[in-house]
Amino acid sequence: MEEKLEKVQVEDAFAVKYPSEIVAVSSVDSGGIPNALIVGWSMTVSGRPPMIAVAIGHPNYSCKLIRECGEFVLAYPSTKVVKEVEFCGSNSGRDIEDKLAECGWGSVPAAEVSPPLLAGCLANFECVVKDRIETGDHATFIGEVVAAHRNPRKLDRLYSFADGRLGPVRRK
């Protein structure tokens, strides 16, 4: 049976992809002050060596920091850090000196890179930037995973919904 598809604007097609995964990306400035950004565009791009790509809008402060530092941590937030995710996703590190301290998001020193690991996340991946691709209004950073950490607690993954809500995906 042939399926009929409706041609729509790109934004209308994007609207049906929810719930969507989000990730937190930590970075540091030249003085070692951490910053965290919440993004929706990331993916695994290689298994050997393990590599992750994350797309960050050019105007974002984190884009500048990752370009300068050459490292980042990508973390998968749980429902335990909704308040922190909302804060870091709606405030810029240009305006707040230490976003993690300001919102109380706990962090742990990373083993191999300068940016910190983020508490309350299912997993954290320490990455060293191996390449950067300019993709329109974003820079896509490709990082080689040099260390990985998994939270031993059973946590629910945090997703973004079409109406702007954050929460877990409830399976029926």
DSSP code per residue over 29-60: -TT--EEEEEES-EEEEEETTEEEEEEEETTS
Radius of gyration of the chain (CA): 17
The yes-or-no verdict on residue 136 having pLDDT over 90 is yes
The yes-or-no verdict on residue 113 having pLDDT over 70 is yes
What is the structure's pLDDT at 171?
65
Region 143-155 average pLDDT: 97
Residue ranges of the domains in the chain?
Answer: 22-161
What is the structure's pLDDT at 172?
61
Region 103-131 average pLDDT: 98
Q: What are the pLDDT digits (tens) for 58-111?
A: 999 999 999 999 999 999 999 999 999 999 999 999 999 899 999 999 999 999
Residues near 46 by Cβ (< 8 Å), separated by ≥ 6? none
Architecture of the 22-161 domain:
Roll (2.30)
What is the structure's pLDDT at 169?
85
Task: Decide if 23 contacts 125 (C-beta within 8 A).
Answer: no
The pLDDT-based confidence of 15 (bands split at 50, 70, 90) is confident
Region 14-25 average pLDDT: 91
